[in-house]
Amino acid sequence: MTAVRVLVVDDHPVVRDGIRGMLERDERVTVIGEAADGREAVARVRASDPDLVLMDLRMPGGDGVSAIRELRAIDATRPRILVLTTYDTDRDIHAAIDAGADGYLLKATPRAELIDAVLRAASGQSVLAPVVARSLVDRGRAEALTDRELQVLSAIARGGTNREVARELLVSEATVKTHLLHLYPKLGVRDRAAAVRVAFERGLLR
Protein backbone atom coordinates (compact mmCIF):
# COMPACT_ATOMS: atom_id res chain seq x y z
CA MET A 1 0.00 0.00 0.00
CA THR A 2 1.38 3.41 -0.98
CA ALA A 3 1.46 5.87 1.91
CA VAL A 4 -0.70 8.99 1.69
CA ARG A 5 1.58 11.99 1.04
CA VAL A 6 0.54 14.88 3.30
CA LEU A 7 1.42 18.57 3.43
CA VAL A 8 0.84 20.17 6.87
CA VAL A 9 -0.16 23.85 6.86
CA ASP A 10 -0.18 25.78 10.17
CA ASP A 11 1.41 29.03 11.32
CA HIS A 12 2.66 27.57 14.63
CA PRO A 13 5.87 25.50 14.34
CA VAL A 14 5.11 23.57 17.53
CA VAL A 15 1.69 22.61 16.19
CA ARG A 16 3.20 21.50 12.88
CA ASP A 17 5.74 19.38 14.75
CA GLY A 18 2.98 17.80 16.82
CA ILE A 19 0.84 16.99 13.78
CA ARG A 20 3.83 15.59 11.91
CA GLY A 21 4.71 13.42 14.91
CA MET A 22 1.19 12.02 15.15
CA LEU A 23 0.91 11.28 11.45
CA GLU A 24 4.35 9.77 10.97
CA ARG A 25 3.73 7.17 13.66
CA ASP A 26 1.47 5.48 11.11
CA GLU A 27 3.18 3.80 8.15
CA ARG A 28 0.19 4.57 5.94
CA VAL A 29 0.96 8.31 6.07
CA THR A 30 4.05 10.28 5.02
CA VAL A 31 4.44 14.00 5.73
CA ILE A 32 6.28 15.38 2.70
CA GLY A 33 6.43 19.00 3.82
CA GLU A 34 5.12 21.91 5.87
CA ALA A 35 3.90 25.44 5.19
CA ALA A 36 3.38 28.35 7.57
CA ASP A 37 0.56 30.12 5.69
CA GLY A 38 -1.78 29.85 2.75
CA ARG A 39 0.52 31.43 0.17
CA GLU A 40 3.37 29.10 1.08
CA ALA A 41 0.92 26.18 0.99
CA VAL A 42 -0.01 26.90 -2.63
CA ALA A 43 3.66 27.10 -3.61
CA ARG A 44 4.46 23.85 -1.79
CA VAL A 45 1.57 22.05 -3.46
CA ARG A 46 2.81 23.16 -6.87
CA ALA A 47 6.31 21.93 -6.04
CA SER A 48 5.55 18.62 -4.31
CA ASP A 49 2.09 17.47 -5.50
CA PRO A 50 0.84 15.99 -2.18
CA ASP A 51 -2.15 13.67 -2.03
CA LEU A 52 -3.70 15.63 0.82
CA VAL A 53 -3.28 19.01 2.53
CA LEU A 54 -4.04 19.47 6.22
CA MET A 55 -5.02 23.15 6.21
CA ASP A 56 -5.39 25.56 9.12
CA LEU A 57 -7.65 28.56 8.48
CA ARG A 58 -6.53 31.78 10.18
CA MET A 59 -2.85 32.40 9.46
CA PRO A 60 -0.87 35.64 9.09
CA GLY A 61 0.50 35.93 5.59
CA GLY A 62 -2.29 34.06 3.85
CA ASP A 63 -5.46 32.47 5.20
CA GLY A 64 -6.59 28.92 4.59
CA VAL A 65 -9.85 29.70 2.79
CA SER A 66 -8.08 31.83 0.18
CA ALA A 67 -5.52 29.07 -0.30
CA ILE A 68 -8.27 26.48 -0.75
CA ARG A 69 -9.93 28.63 -3.41
CA GLU A 70 -6.62 29.10 -5.23
CA LEU A 71 -5.79 25.41 -5.13
CA ARG A 72 -9.24 24.49 -6.41
CA ALA A 73 -8.86 26.98 -9.25
CA ILE A 74 -5.66 25.16 -10.24
CA ASP A 75 -7.10 21.65 -9.88
CA ALA A 76 -10.67 20.87 -8.85
CA THR A 77 -9.92 17.46 -7.35
CA ARG A 78 -6.24 17.26 -6.35
CA PRO A 79 -4.92 17.48 -3.74
CA ARG A 80 -7.63 16.55 -1.30
CA ILE A 81 -7.94 19.30 1.30
CA LEU A 82 -8.81 18.56 4.92
CA VAL A 83 -9.22 21.55 7.24
CA LEU A 84 -7.70 21.07 10.71
CA THR A 85 -8.34 24.09 12.91
CA THR A 86 -9.53 25.32 16.30
CA TYR A 87 -12.30 27.43 14.76
CA ASP A 88 -15.80 25.97 14.74
CA THR A 89 -17.98 28.99 13.92
CA ASP A 90 -20.59 28.68 11.19
CA ARG A 91 -18.81 31.42 9.25
CA ASP A 92 -15.49 29.53 9.19
CA ILE A 93 -17.10 26.18 8.45
CA HIS A 94 -19.28 27.39 5.59
CA ALA A 95 -16.49 29.47 4.04
CA ALA A 96 -14.09 26.51 3.97
CA ILE A 97 -16.61 24.01 2.59
CA ASP A 98 -17.88 26.47 -0.01
CA ALA A 99 -14.29 27.19 -1.07
CA GLY A 100 -13.79 23.51 -1.85
CA ALA A 101 -12.51 21.76 1.28
CA ASP A 102 -13.12 18.01 1.32
CA GLY A 103 -13.48 17.83 5.08
CA TYR A 104 -13.31 19.81 8.30
CA LEU A 105 -11.87 18.65 11.64
CA LEU A 106 -10.99 20.35 14.91
CA LYS A 107 -7.54 20.18 16.49
CA ALA A 108 -9.00 18.44 19.51
CA THR A 109 -9.56 15.37 17.30
CA PRO A 110 -7.83 12.30 18.84
CA ARG A 111 -4.85 10.92 16.93
CA ALA A 112 -6.59 7.69 15.83
CA GLU A 113 -9.52 9.68 14.44
CA LEU A 114 -7.17 12.09 12.68
CA ILE A 115 -5.32 9.23 10.99
CA ASP A 116 -8.61 7.65 9.97
CA ALA A 117 -9.86 10.97 8.62
CA VAL A 118 -6.69 11.51 6.58
CA LEU A 119 -6.99 8.06 5.02
CA ARG A 120 -10.70 8.47 4.31
CA ALA A 121 -10.29 11.95 2.82
CA ALA A 122 -7.41 10.76 0.66
CA SER A 123 -9.61 7.94 -0.67
CA GLY A 124 -12.27 10.42 -1.79
CA GLN A 125 -14.63 10.56 1.18
CA SER A 126 -15.89 13.70 2.88
CA VAL A 127 -14.90 13.93 6.55
CA LEU A 128 -16.76 16.21 8.95
CA ALA A 129 -16.44 16.71 12.71
CA PRO A 130 -19.84 16.35 14.47
CA VAL A 131 -20.09 20.08 15.19
CA VAL A 132 -19.39 20.79 11.54
CA ALA A 133 -22.01 18.33 10.36
CA ARG A 134 -24.55 19.96 12.69
CA SER A 135 -23.68 23.40 11.34
CA LEU A 136 -24.22 22.25 7.77
CA VAL A 137 -27.46 20.50 8.74
CA ASP A 138 -28.73 23.72 10.34
CA ARG A 139 -27.85 25.69 7.22
CA GLY A 140 -29.53 23.25 4.92
CA ARG A 141 -32.50 22.18 7.02
CA ALA A 142 -34.95 24.60 5.43
CA GLU A 143 -33.67 24.06 1.92
CA ALA A 144 -35.12 21.66 -0.62
CA LEU A 145 -32.91 19.66 -2.94
CA THR A 146 -32.39 21.32 -6.29
CA ASP A 147 -33.13 19.51 -9.54
CA ARG A 148 -29.39 19.09 -10.16
CA GLU A 149 -28.82 17.69 -6.66
CA LEU A 150 -31.57 15.17 -7.28
CA GLN A 151 -29.97 14.21 -10.60
CA VAL A 152 -26.62 13.67 -8.87
CA LEU A 153 -28.22 11.62 -6.10
CA SER A 154 -30.20 9.55 -8.58
CA ALA A 155 -27.06 8.74 -10.56
CA ILE A 156 -25.25 7.75 -7.36
CA ALA A 157 -28.18 5.57 -6.33
CA ARG A 158 -27.66 3.67 -9.60
CA GLY A 159 -24.11 2.95 -8.48
CA GLY A 160 -22.24 5.71 -10.26
CA THR A 161 -18.92 7.03 -9.01
CA ASN A 162 -18.26 10.77 -8.92
CA ARG A 163 -16.40 10.45 -12.23
CA GLU A 164 -19.23 8.49 -13.85
CA VAL A 165 -21.85 10.92 -12.55
CA ALA A 166 -19.81 13.86 -13.86
CA ARG A 167 -19.58 12.22 -17.28
CA GLU A 168 -23.32 11.47 -17.35
CA LEU A 169 -24.33 15.01 -16.34
CA LEU A 170 -21.60 16.73 -18.40
CA VAL A 171 -20.08 18.49 -15.39
CA SER A 172 -16.75 18.24 -13.54
CA GLU A 173 -16.06 15.86 -10.68
CA ALA A 174 -15.57 18.89 -8.45
CA THR A 175 -19.10 20.05 -9.29
CA VAL A 176 -20.48 16.63 -8.35
CA LYS A 177 -18.60 16.76 -5.05
CA THR A 178 -19.94 20.26 -4.35
CA HIS A 179 -23.51 19.13 -4.98
CA LEU A 180 -22.99 16.24 -2.56
CA LEU A 181 -21.58 18.49 0.15
CA HIS A 182 -24.60 20.76 -0.24
CA LEU A 183 -27.23 18.02 -0.23
CA TYR A 184 -25.81 16.10 2.76
CA PRO A 185 -26.92 18.72 5.33
CA LYS A 186 -30.28 19.07 3.63
CA LEU A 187 -30.87 15.38 4.26
CA GLY A 188 -29.18 15.36 7.66
CA VAL A 189 -26.55 12.82 6.60
CA ARG A 190 -22.75 12.61 6.32
CA ASP A 191 -22.08 10.24 3.44
CA ARG A 192 -23.33 8.99 0.06
CA ALA A 193 -24.92 5.76 1.27
CA ALA A 194 -26.95 7.51 3.95
CA ALA A 195 -28.02 10.21 1.47
CA VAL A 196 -29.39 7.61 -0.94
CA ARG A 197 -31.17 5.73 1.87
CA VAL A 198 -32.81 8.88 3.28
CA ALA A 199 -33.79 10.07 -0.19
CA PHE A 200 -35.64 6.80 -0.83
CA GLU A 201 -37.26 6.97 2.62
CA ARG A 202 -38.53 10.47 1.89
CA GLY A 203 -39.76 9.55 -1.56
CA LEU A 204 -37.27 11.81 -3.32
CA LEU A 205 -35.99 8.83 -5.31
CA ARG A 206 -37.99 5.93 -6.72
- What does the pLDDT look like over 97-112, one tens digit per residue? 888 888 899 999 999 9
The whole domain housing 58 covers 4-137
In a domain, 206, yes or no: no
In a domain, 69, yes or no: yes
Reported as a pLDDT band with limits 50, 70 and 90, residue 143 is: low
Asked whether residue 73 falls in the same domain as residue 155, the answer is no
Asked whether residue 14 falls in the same domain as residue 69, the answer is yes
Measured distance CA(122)–CA(107) in Å, rounded:
18
Asked whether residue 156 falls in the same domain as residue 184, the answer is yes
Structural domains of the chain, count: 2
Reported as a pLDDT band with limits 50, 70 and 90, residue 123 is: confident
User: Is pLDDT at 138 greater than 70 in this prediction?
Assistant: no
User: Is pLDDT at 183 greater than 80 in this prediction?
Assistant: yes
Are 48 and 33 contacting, i.e. CB atoms less than 8 angstroms apart? Answer: yes
Provide the phi-psi class of 49: left if phi over 0, else alpha when psi is between -120 and 50, else beta.
Answer: left
pTM higher than 0.85 for the full model? no
Taking the alpha carbons at both ends of the chain, their separation in whole angstroms is: 39
Question: Where does a domain end: 99, 122, 137?
Answer: 137
Question: Where does a domain end: 119, 137, 155?
Answer: 137
Asked whether residue 104 falls in the same domain as residue 41, the answer is yes
User: Is pLDDT at 33 greater than 50 in this prediction?
Assistant: yes
- CATH number of domain containing 166: 1.10.10.10
- CATH number of domain containing 52: 3.40.50.2300
DSSP string, the chain: -PPEEEEEE-S-HHHHHHHHHHHHTSTTEEEEEEESSHHHHHHHHHHH--SEEEE-S--TTS-HHHHHHHHHHH-SSSSEEEEEES---HHHHHHHHHHT-SEEEETTS-HHHHHHHHHHHHTT--EE-HHHHHHHHHHHTTPPPPHHHHHHHHHHHTT--HHHHHHHHTS-HHHHHHHHHHHHHHHT-SSHHHHHHHHHHTTS--
Asked whether residue 105 falls in the same domain as residue 73, the answer is yes
Asked whether residue 36 falls in the same domain as residue 80, the answer is yes
Reported as a pLDDT band with limits 50, 70 and 90, residue 142 is: very low
Measured distance CA(17)–CA(34) in Å, rounded:
9
Asked whether residue 130 falls in the same domain as residue 151, the answer is no
